[in-house]
Amino acid sequence: MNTWLWPICLVSVGGFVGAISRFQLGTYMSRRFPSSIPYGTLTINLLGSFLLGLLMKYHPFDNWKLLIGTGFMGAFTTFSTLNLESMKQLRSGQWQAWMIYTMLSYTGGILLAFIGYYI
């Protein structure tokens, strides 16, 4: 296989699996825990932060980083959805839910990435 095609295939396969995983987990969490706090996106982003920290620590190989880090985690986690849901909370006056959601997302994400890396 051409040297330029292999990385594209790794990212594509990882992205395919990551997007499907995000859809399935997000749908499950939204149905299981209906709330003004989007627990699906929160869970996905926190889990993704932790797993990416683990990946960076234990898999220094570029192929794993392309497949899991760029491909899977790039499609699995979702910064844009976090921001869209935050904006919706603010527009509907859900200040307390917005504060909890953003604090848990950003602080928890950074903390879990560190924990994943230092395990």
Judge whether 68 and 59 are in contact, CB under 8 Å.
yes
In order, the DSSP letters of 71-108 are IIHHHHS-HHHHHHHHHHHHHTT-HHHHHHHHHHHHHH
Q: Which domain holds residue 51?
A: 5-118
Q: Which residues are annotated as a binding site?
A: 74, 77
Counting the structural domains of the chain, the total is 1
Q: Which residues are annotated as a binding site for Na(+)?
A: 74, 77
pLDDT single digits (tens) 78-106: 888 999 999 999 999 999 999 999 999 99
pLDDT single digits (tens) 16-65: 999 999 999 999 999 999 999 999 999 999 999 999 998 888 776 788 88
Give the CA distances from residue 113 to residues 48, 68, 100, 110, in Å, rounded to whole numbers and listed in that order.
8, 15, 19, 5
